[in-house]
Amino acid sequence: MKVTVDRKRTIITFIIADLAFAVILFLSCINLFVFQKWNVLQFAIIGLFVVVSVVMLVLSLTRNFYVIEKKYLVVVKGSKNMFYNYEDVVYIDKEQTERKRTLIFYTNKGHIRYLPFDKEGKIYRTFLQRCHNLLEKEELKRKYPNIKF
């Protein structure tokens, strides 16, 4: 089953990143925009920035989604696919996950993963139902002492 990432959250994150990139871009070309008369070059740079931003926003909305399978979750980000087997998940931080609306889990290799929720939270419910190798927090600390909560 294909589940899309929460669009509102994606748009807010994109706007913040896009504004930061705009500040960096225009500060790096400050002489071009402040100390010269405006001509086609300045408008072309702004137009190119807007076009690239719109294309990147559309791609981020259409190419970021989850595919819930029986044995694993597929996370599609752009052209990259990441597979997370449910049996490899050893701990789900339920408190932080519910508070931040981001699925936070640890794999059997001691790696932490963060996955933004879909609109209804289906990936969280799926992980709770299908991950059967979950440990308690104390057990996880003992087994993986380098993990920081």
Residue 132 has phi, psi (to 5 degrees) of -105, -5
Give CA–CA dist 63/134, Å, rounded: 30
Domain count, the chain: 2
- Domain co-membership, 95 together with 31: no
- Domain co-membership, 54 together with 75: no
- Domain co-membership, 56 together with 79: no
Report pLDDT for 5. Answer: 92
* Closest among 82, 65, 73 to 126, alpha carbons compared: 73
Structural domain range at position 131: 69-143
Residue 63 has phi, psi (to 5 degrees) of -110, 15
Looking at 23, 38, 62, the residue that finishes a domain is 62
- Catalogue the E-assigned strands of 35-79: 64-68, 72-77
- Domain co-membership, 80 together with 55: no
Looking at 46, 62, 78, the residue that finishes a domain is 62
- Flag whether 110 is in a domain: yes
Length of the chain: 149
| Span 41-59, pLDDT tens digits | 888 989 999 999 999 999 9
Residue with tokens 């981001």: 102
- Flag whether 149 is in a domain: no
| Span 100-119, pLDDT tens digits | 999 999 999 889 999 999 98
Kindly report the pTM of this predicted structure.
0.79
The confidence band for 11, taking pLDDT boundaries of 50, 70 and 90, is very high
- Domain co-membership, 54 together with 79: no
- Flag whether 148 is in a domain: no
